[in-house]
Amino acid sequence: MATGKIVTIRDDKGFGFISPDNGDGNDLFFHRSAVVDVDFEELRDGQQVSFDEEADPRNPSRQRAVNVRPE
């Protein structure tokens, strides 16, 4: 499981972006349905999270975060 920090969260739209700690510079999209153990509304910008990565079904050349959990 990877770790990172939430850099943007859009409560009104139900998604956000995570900057992985691996330092590759590519932020990962996550949807509210990918959040586990807490409600999406409890997450905040700057919060440390753990997550898994998978191919984005809309664009398989990009990765997205799933199983997003606060650390």
Taking only the tens place, the pLDDT of each residue in 11-69 is 999 999 999 998 777 899 999 999 999 999 999 999 999 999 999 999 999 999 999 99
Q: How deeply is 45 buried, as exposed, middle or buried, from its count of CB atoms within 10 A (0-12, 13-18, 19+)? A: exposed
3-state secondary structure of 52: strand
- What separation in angstroms does the CA of 3 have from each of 13, 19, 58? 23, 9, 23
Listed in sequence order, the residues at least 6 apart from 39 whose beta carbon sits closer than 8 Å to its beta carbon are none
CA-wise closest residue to 13 among 33, 36, 38: 33
Structural domain count, the chain: 1
Residue 23 maps to which CATH number? 2.40.50.140
pTM for the model: 0.91
Residues of the domain holding 7: 2-70
Strand partners, 63: 55
